[in-house]
Amino acid sequence: MWDPMDPNRFKFILQYVQKKYTVLPLLEILDTKPVTKKPLAAISFDDGYRDFIDYSIPIMDDLGIPSSIYVVTDCITNQSPTWTFALDYLFFNTRQVQIHWTLEPDFLPEQFRKNTFVNRQELIAYCQKLKQHIKKIPDEKRKLLLEDIRNSFNDVSLPGNLMMDWQQIKQLMNAGVEVGSHTVTHPPLTTVTNVELHRELQNSRLAFFNNTGICPRVISYPVGSYNQQVKDAAVKAGYDYGLAVNQRIYKSQVHDDFEIPRIELYNEPFWKTWLRIKEYV
């Protein structure tokens, strides 16, 4: 399941990063490509959950570390979590052990057609595999699958008050936090139609402008899903940079502006985090 990083672990990682890197705002690095004695680093977040304000900001302010966050505009406007969070939450909290599929039998590969489970452990293991699969299927098929899951697990209500609101986003921007787009509804962008791709990119910029008076310069691709078509659409929509998640260090002479790599960190023992970043220090 979606597992927030423990605040103490987060602070420890940031203190380590401060020792090994020069930490700057992401746009400063991308715009000016400064030369420093230590390697450069930028700290970024996705989605727009309220715990960014409750936990992350106080720690980063205390350490003097800048940050950026990329938010899903419909989730902010409607105060609803991302579909990836919702999927995990439903599976982990339902008391049901059966999914009532209304889809045609060949809608899913055979390994995912199971609908009855012996216990919760089997159900959760199934969820973890299904989640990876549905990140790659056409967006319309994904929506139908999620609808069946929501209807099957109707004993669960999604929690409220998880997301930041637009007023809080404006306060973050006024405090110097870089805020950018993570699309309108958080779909894997390689799975949507061309029309939906442009809507996700352009309407998120419009939502930002309508609510903050500023258009975001950076798009963070949901679940790291992008290809050349997505990059071209991001250029057309007016973004300056596109962020990926592919566990590689950014090299300005190698990576184009719409394929900026990032190293994703998790709520895990520090030695695992160290292994993820050790070759870059």
The answer to whether 212 touches 177, Cβ cutoff 8 Å, is: no
Tell me, yes or no, if the pTM score tops 0.85: yes
**What confidence tier does 114 reach under pLDDT thresholds 50, 70, 90?**
confident
Please tell me the predicted confidence (pLDDT) of residue 2: 63
Question: Mean pLDDT lowest for which of 58-62, 98-102, 103-107, 195-199?
Answer: 103-107
- Mention every residue, 6+ apart, whose C-beta is less than 8 A from residue 118: 97
**What confidence tier does 279 reach under pLDDT thresholds 50, 70, 90?**
low
Give residue limits of the domains in the chain.
7-80+162-280, 83-152
Asked whether residue 281 carries a pLDDT value surpassing 50, the answer given is no
Please tell me the predicted confidence (pLDDT) of residue 104: 84
pLDDT tens-digit profile of 168-194? 999 999 999 999 999 999 999 999 999
Mean pLDDT of 55-61: 96
Bigger pLDDT: 251 or 200? 200
Please tell me the predicted confidence (pLDDT) of residue 280: 52
Alpha carbon distance 265, 145 (integer Å): 29
Q: What percent of the chain has pLDDT over 90?
A: 78
Mean pLDDT of 208-224: 96
- Mention every residue, 6+ apart, whose C-beta is less than 8 A from residue 244: 221, 224, 226, 259, 260, 261, 262
Say which amino acid occupies 67.
Answer: S
Exposure string of 148-164, with b = 16+ CB inside 10 Å and e = fewer, is: bbeebbeebeeeeebbb
pLDDT tens-digit profile of 150-168? 999 999 999 988 999 999 9
Alpha carbon distance 257, 207 (integer Å): 23
For domain 7-80+162-280, say whether CATH 3.20.20.370 is its number: yes
Mean pLDDT of 254-263: 89
**What confidence tier does 35 reach under pLDDT thresholds 50, 70, 90?**
confident
